[in-house]
């Protein structure tokens, strides 16, 4: 069976749905550990595990000025807590984590979209 790619359909940020542009090519890191192997002088090696947050980058969401979408997302970025974030893909898969808006937050006036990043502690889990 072959893998199915395609559009991000929807991102829900703290209870508010955002449509993704059809050409969004989101990158997702599930979180957990990144692993490196370090050599020892006697030819053996050590496995070094560094805990990393989950991240979603490169997703372009529709941001409507009349809905106050940019202000909503900025308020989340300004907030000190994390909340539920869910991303749904064209292949029918949905992933959820607890996190926040991260990185630079901008809205393109011509396309009414913004390239968003999200991240949080723990792992993204398949729903």
Specify the number of domains making up the chain: 1
Instruction: Print the domain residue range for 62.
Output: 8-126
**CATH assignment of the domain containing 89:** 2.40.30
87, part of any domain:
yes
Mean pLDDT for each 10-residue chunk of the chain (127 residues)? 88 98 94 98 98 97 97 98 97 96 96 97 97
Q: Which pTM value belongs to this model? A: 0.90
> Which contacts qualify for 102-108: CB closer than 8 Å, 24 or more apart?
102/55, 102/77, 103/57, 105/70, 105/73, 105/74, 105/77, 107/63, 107/65, 107/69, 107/70
Residue 1 belongs to a domain: no
Residue 66 corresponds to which tokens in the numbers above? 């009349």
């Amino acid at each position: 069976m072959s893998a199915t790619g395609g559009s991000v359909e929807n991102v829900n940020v703290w209870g508010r749905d955002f449509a993704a542009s059809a050409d969004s090519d989101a990158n997702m890191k599930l979180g957990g550990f990144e692993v490196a192997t370090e050599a020892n002088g006697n030819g053996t090696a050590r496995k070094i595990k560094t805990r990393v947050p989950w991240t979603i980058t490169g997703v372009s969401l529709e941001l409507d000025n009349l809905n106050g979408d940019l202000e909503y997302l900025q308020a989340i970025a300004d907030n000190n807590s994390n909340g539920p974030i869910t991303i749904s893909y064209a292949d029918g898969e949905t992933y959820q984590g607890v996190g926040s808006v991260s990185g630079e937050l901008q809205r393109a006036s011509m396309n009414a979209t913004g390239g968003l990043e999200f991240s949080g502690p723990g792992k993204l889990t398949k729903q």
